[in-house]
Amino acid sequence: MKGRPMKIEDLERIVLVSDPKLSPDARLAAFTVTKPSIREDKYLSSIWLLDTKSLSYEQLTAGPSDHSPEWSPDGRRICFLSRRTLKEGEEGAELWIADVFARGEPRMLLKLDRPIRNAQWSPDGRRILFISRVGRKDEDVKVIEELPFWFNGEGFIYGLRDHVFVADVYSGNYFQLTSGDVNVKFARWSPNGRRVAFVAETDRLRPYIKDVFVVDAEGGEPVKLTRGNMTIIDLDWSPDGRMIVFRGHDLRRGLTSHYKVWVVDVEGGEPRCVFNADLDAVNAMNSDVRGPSSARYIQWVEGHIYFPVSVGGYVHLYRTDAEGEHEPVIQGEIVVEDFSISRELICTTAMRFDRPPEVYIYREGELKLATDFNGWLLREVGLGRPERFTFRASDGVEVEGWVLKPHGFVEGRKYPAILYIHGGPPTTYGEGFMHEFHVLAGEGFALIFMNPRGSSGYSEGFKDIRGRYGDRDYKDIMEGLDYVLEKFPFIDGERVGVTGGSYGGFMVNWIIGHTDRFKAAVTQRSICNWISDYGTTDIGFYFNEDQIAGGFGRPFWDERWFRKYWDMSPIKYVGNVKTPLLIIHSMEDYRCWMDQALQLFTALKVRGIPVRLVLFPKENHDLSRKGKPKHRVERLKQIVGWFKKYLAED
């Protein structure tokens, strides 16, 4: 393999390219370029412009915190979000406007002490819609009367609600369009600008239930178009303004259900599914090199609706018409990320296992690379490609996985290996670029990763392991490892480690309580006790009922379900653990709270098992993907050091 190995510090040499948006005439595309800086310990982002014909590109804004560009209807201006005048750690956001052709200094339209997202110009170009927060946080004593009381990446959220606002593009004056005890998640102008459609949750105890509403753009009482029985992500209007399309599911398999594409008449009626293939209409791919994005993942352009679909180890772009005739548009060994659709072309970011996301242009059936921000690094390092394998599990179902050889692989030598388990569980491995994987390969480890039962990208039945965590998924993983050790003789079966995060961390904890075949383990942002997790996390009070007990309305204090929670908790089996364990956890992880790490560490320490606890302050569940660059570097150093210590040759 030519080129040097990927290093941990190469994190700051990877350019994160994201969020392309085509101008109304499709001649230009605005996109975001983000560079991690280890020295400054932050991410530096700016807006760039691409000429879609010549494929030349240049920087438009200076940054250092500009992202989420949106074009005005006349194609002369963009608005974008930034933190240009905010201090480090200061809460808030800013909305700016830049003239694309005059190239003068952008002007700040408004500055708030709370988040701004989902910005969109009105069709007449005189107003900008955005979503922001209503309510105030308790700065000292916390007086809480509702769930969820906090949320990962946001902190305490009780008493706060997200609503739609509309701002004048000249004065910056704005008004609140929606109100009440709802949380707005997504909003879009109608094609004529007279109405706004939005997705909102209305029940704090069932935040997985979301509905589609339509409201007059000048205000008034919203009209609900759905029936309070679905999970809904986002939406778009039909070009004639008569229908709305949305991605969601009807909870027929609880939170595990595949996302489908639905249309509903604005004047009322039952939603109708127009993409009913046994596939997931989401991008479920794992990657640690994604930049900030406000991309729209459901777009109705002329006669077709465009959306992503997870297909095994890939993510493809599909389209359907309003009658349900669907087809892939961009497919192959690729992960389609953000995209923007026009009549003439598609502008998208896409990645492969050995190439981080770049901007591509799809025109007349050909996908062409348009940017090459990461070319310098890729020509310097030698990145391997994994070998795909499939095996038949003991129940006859086919399971997909990959093996990545260590950098500098020499035939005839034996190598230590790391089995890496993804989170979710409904996410997927495959062609997603993982800086971490290439680092571990560069340190001399083989990588084993697979999509066991519970993963997205396959059938809904494959994805559904509600009430069976630690059963069929565990068997798939262990049977897959057996298959790999037989098929890939260069892997030393006596020097295999295991790691994973979130659900993958749960599975690591489960594995070491049920087998001692691994020489070392690293558990990250994990769960060891489903009972305590129920009441301490942002989603545990409903997620655990559905996923662990097997259905909503099954709390742990009900004797019928208590045993289920406890039997699936790895802490129950801590007395069996012999494997040296590194525990990595963020101190502000409200998805899997820090108590999970503390419980496991204490139990293993009392038992005398080799264990180390590494806590990262001011980080959340997304440490490995969006954490401070210095913390991301230290995390990888801890993982590499642990496995080198225990997987070294005797």
- The residues assigned a catalytic role are 502, 621
Q: What is the DSSP string of 274-315?
A: EE-SSSBSS--B--S--------S-EEETTEEEEEEEETTEE
The backbone region for 526, taken as left when phi is positive above 0, alpha when psi lies in -120 to 50, beta otherwise, is beta
Query: Which residue in 554, 596, 552 sits closest to 574, CA to CA?
Result: 596
82 phi, psi to nearest 5 deg = -160, 175
Can you tell me the distance from the alpha carbon of 284 to that of 432, in angstroms, rounded to the nearest whole number? Answer: 10
Sheet containing 195-201: give its strands across. 183-189, 195-201, 210-216, 223-224
Cβ–Cβ under 8 Å, residues 368 and 453: no
User: Which residue's entry shows tokens 């264990």?
Assistant: 611
Cβ–Cβ under 8 Å, residues 31 and 50: yes
The secondary element (H helix, E strand) that includes residue 401 is: strand 398-404
Cβ–Cβ under 8 Å, residues 95 and 128: yes
- Parallel/antiparallel/unpaired status of strands 93-99 and 57-59: unpaired
Can you tell me the distance from the alpha carbon of 609 to that of 121, in angstroms, rounded to the nearest whole number? Answer: 58
Cβ–Cβ under 8 Å, residues 178 and 152: no
